[in-house]
Chains A and B, each alone.
Chain A
Amino acid sequence: MSYRKLSISLATGLFVAGCCFISTGRAQAALTLNTNTAASVFGISRTASPANCQNANCDGWLYKDDNSSPWVWSQNPTSSSAYCAQILDDAYCNQTTDQSNPAPIKNLFFSGSGNAYLTDGKYHMFESIGYWPGSGGCNGDTTWQECASEGNGVEEADFIISSAPPSPSLSFLIPENGSTSPDFASWVVDIENATSGLLEIDYSPSGNAFFNASDSELFAVGVSAIPAVVPKTILLAQLSTTTSWAAQANLWVNGTDYYSSIINFNILPSGSTYQPTYYQAFCSFTSSSFLADPVGNIQNAICNSFAYLFIPSPSQQVAVSSQFSGIKNAVATKPPFGYFTAIQGVLYNASSVPSSSLVIVNASTAAAFSSILSPLNNLFSVILWILFAFWLFHTMRNIKL
């Protein structure tokens, strides 16, 4: 594992942990807990204990010891008469017509001995502190006989246990397989069943045995837009000898690579204009039912409103991009900018100059002495920048405007 991937893995882990922490708020969207999740604890806690509760700490929580162990539901009551945090089977909640009565707790209530191992499924967890059950249950609006005052902590939450999380699926939107187009600024990849990880695009001229160029971007679920946009670092149009390219996307998640199919595409060598890619805001409703998550849905409604006001639509972005691109192209050939463009063109097309007679050190010698020449090259670079810094300091100190 490279250091880069290791550091990205740690960053992703922290991000996911942060998401899990945030997701423990009231009435959040369902949180998926799978066996790939690291050792963690998720649950209902009370930091203050009301005086008339039987238990000093009436908590309920899920925990798992390591990556492969199952999630376990556990509670902290010392008396079987106390109803603390409980889990309802969501399937029962969907079937029952009487939402006012508490649903049975299907092998999930901890009554003083043993723990309950959760199988795959969707669950509803809620706080139900008190001596006896009253009304309430699946709808989350608990009216159980509660203690006089509540402590701080989560009151209810939905979660999903999934032992086999769906694998991410990647496909290219830009460029399209088999397409012929001008050069483009960024790769655009659609990701289904997105998971946070390192998104990498590998590419090379068609027919190569392996990919010899790559661009990458950290992809974070909930932060990065879908489709994902990865800036392309090589101007393919200026490599006039190659017009046919092959590319493959892969998402690296905790040591596992998920690949797209390999695409082949053609770049017009004379087309130096970028095909604009569009930006999309990441606003999506957290639940199909407004009442299931009113806060989250209102947040996303506001997000959508701002996106409509301030982010141009894809067609508008294409129109504006082509307008600015037109000005840039028109000015690029006019003085004084045209001289720089011309010099740049000469430098890129220098291959017409015979260079065999100009070789100072041949390839085999360079390889043999690379351990000496490479540090020497770096040393000269450092010296040059230090000299520039001294020159700049001297110039600024003695400047007379």
Chain B
Amino acid sequence: MIGYALLEILYAFVFALSSPIRLLGDVSLPANVANAISIGNAYLGAAAIFLPVNTLLAVFGSVLVVEGFIFGYKLVMWVKQLFW
């Protein structure tokens, strides 16, 4: 009963928070970009016998996450500096 009520409150919060995003239109990849990713993936898959492709992608993703976090923090601080 209490758990359900808390989950409903959380759902209402997430629903409200995601409203601006849900109002946007759907996105799709341009055909050339999708084709490029497919071909690149095929090449990487062919090299997977001796290259750790999954690890390579995981490390690359981790670098992006760290850099994205730093950039996001700087962006927020910059916006904050403009108004406060």
Nearest-neighbor residue (CB-CB) of B56 within chain A: A384
- By the criterion CB–CB under 8 Å, are A323 and B1 in contact? no
Contact of A377 among B11, B26, B28, B51 (CB under 8 A): B51
A342 touches B50 (CB 8 A): no
Which parts of A309-363 form the interface with B (CB within 8 Å)?
Answer: 309-313, 316, 320, 323-324, 327, 330-331, 333-335, 337-339, 342-343, 346-347, 349-350, 352-353, 355, 358-361
Determine which of A312, A335, A360, A395 lies in contact with B3 in the assembled complex, contact meaning CB atoms within 8 Å.
A312
If over half of A's interface residues share one DSSP class (helix, strand or loop), that class is named, otherwise mixed; here it is: helix
Residues 22 to 36 of chain B near chain A (Cβ within 8 Å): 22, 24-29, 34
Report which of B3, B25, B62 forms a contact with A310, defined as CB distance below 8 A. B3
Interface segment among A130-138, A161-169, A171-179, A385-393: the answer is A385-393
* Cβ contacts under 8 Å, A335 to chain B: 21, 24, 27
Contact present for A353 and B11 (CB under 8 Å): no
Who on chain A is nearest to B77 by CB?
A: A401
Interface pair B47/A338, CB less than 8 Å apart? no
B residues whose Cβ falls under 8 Å from a Cβ of A: 1-4, 7-8, 11, 14-15, 18, 21-22, 24-29, 34, 37-39, 41-43, 45-47, 49-52, 55-56, 59, 62-63, 66, 70, 73-74, 77
- The residue from B29, B38, B50, B70 contacting A373, defined by CB atoms under 8 A apart: B50
Residues of B contacting A399 with CB < 8 Å? 70
Q: Are the C-beta atoms of B4 and A376 separated by less than 8 Å?
A: no
Cα distance A376–B55 in the bound complex, in angstroms: 13
User: Shortest beta-carbon distance, B70 to chain A, in Å?
Assistant: 7
Q: How far does the alpha carbon of A343 sit from the alpha carbon of B55 in the complex, in Å?
A: 18
Question: B47 — which chain A residues lie within 8 A by C-beta?
Answer: 360
Assess the B29–A346 pair: CB atoms within 8 A: yes
Contact flag A310-B2 (CB < 8 Å), given A342-B27, A346-B29, A346-B37? yes
> CB-nearest residue of chain A relative to B55?
A381
The distance from the CB of A113 to the nearest CB of chain B, in whole angstroms, is 61
Which residues of B lie under 8 Å from residue A385 when comparing CB positions? 55, 59
Q: Return B76 CB to nearest CB of chain A, in Å.
A: 10
Q: Do residues B39 and A366 form an inter-chain contact, with CB atoms below 8 A?
A: no
Residues of B contacting A387 in the complex (Cβ-Cβ under 8 angstroms)? 59
Known: A311-B3, A384-B55, A392-B66. 20 other contacts (CB 8 A): A310-B1, A312-B7, A320-B11, A324-B11, A327-B14, A333-B27, A334-B25, A350-B45, A352-B38, A353-B38, A353-B39, A353-B41, A358-B43, A359-B46, A360-B46, A377-B49, A384-B59, A387-B59, A401-B70, A401-B77
Q: How far is the CA of A338 from the CA of B49 in the complex (A)?
A: 31
Pair A380/B37 contact, Cβ less than 8 Å: no
A258 within 8 A of B: no
Q: Within 8 Å CB of A331, what residues of B?
A: 18, 21-22
Chain A residues in 8 Å Cβ range of B2: 309-310
**Contact of A308 with B by CB under 8 A:** yes
Please classify the interface of chain B as helix (H, G, I), strand (E, B), loop, or mixed, using the class held by over half of its residues: helix
A323 cross-chain contacts in B, Cβ below 8 A: 11
Q: How far apart are B25's CB and chain A's nearest CB, in angstroms?
A: 8
> Given that A324-B14, A342-B28, A353-B39 are contacting pairs, would A388 and B34 also be in contact in the complex, using a CB cutoff of 8 Å?
no
Partner of B73, one of A313, A360, A395, A401: A401
The reply to whether B38 and A377 form a contact with Cβ atoms under 8 Å apart is no
Separation of A316 and B11 alpha carbons in the complex (Å): 13
* Chain B residue at minimal CB-CB distance from A341: B27
Residue of A with least CB distance to B24: A334
CB of B29 within 8 A of CB of A355, answer no
B21 contacts A334, C-beta separation under 8 Å: yes
In the bound complex, what is the Cα–Cα distance between A339 and B34 (angstroms)? 11
Q: In the assembled complex, how far is the CB of residue B72 from the closest CB belonging to chain A, in whole angstroms? A: 11
B70 and A346 form a contact (CB under 8 A): no
Residue of B18, B22, B41, B62 near A388 (CB, 8 A) is B62
Cβ contact within 8 Å between A334 and B73: no
Contact A358 B46 (CB under 8 A): yes
Is the pair B52, A377 in contact by a Cβ cutoff of 8 Å? yes
Docked Cα-Cα span, A385 to B55, in Å, equals 8
* Whole-angstrom CA separation of A327 from B19 in the bound complex: 10
A-B contact pairs, 27 of them (CB 8 A): A312-B4, A323-B11, A327-B11, A327-B18, A331-B22, A333-B27, A334-B27, A338-B26, A339-B27, A339-B29, A342-B28, A346-B41, A350-B45, A353-B41, A358-B43, A358-B46, A359-B46, A360-B46, A361-B49, A377-B50, A377-B52, A380-B51, A380-B52, A387-B59, A388-B63, A391-B63, A401-B70
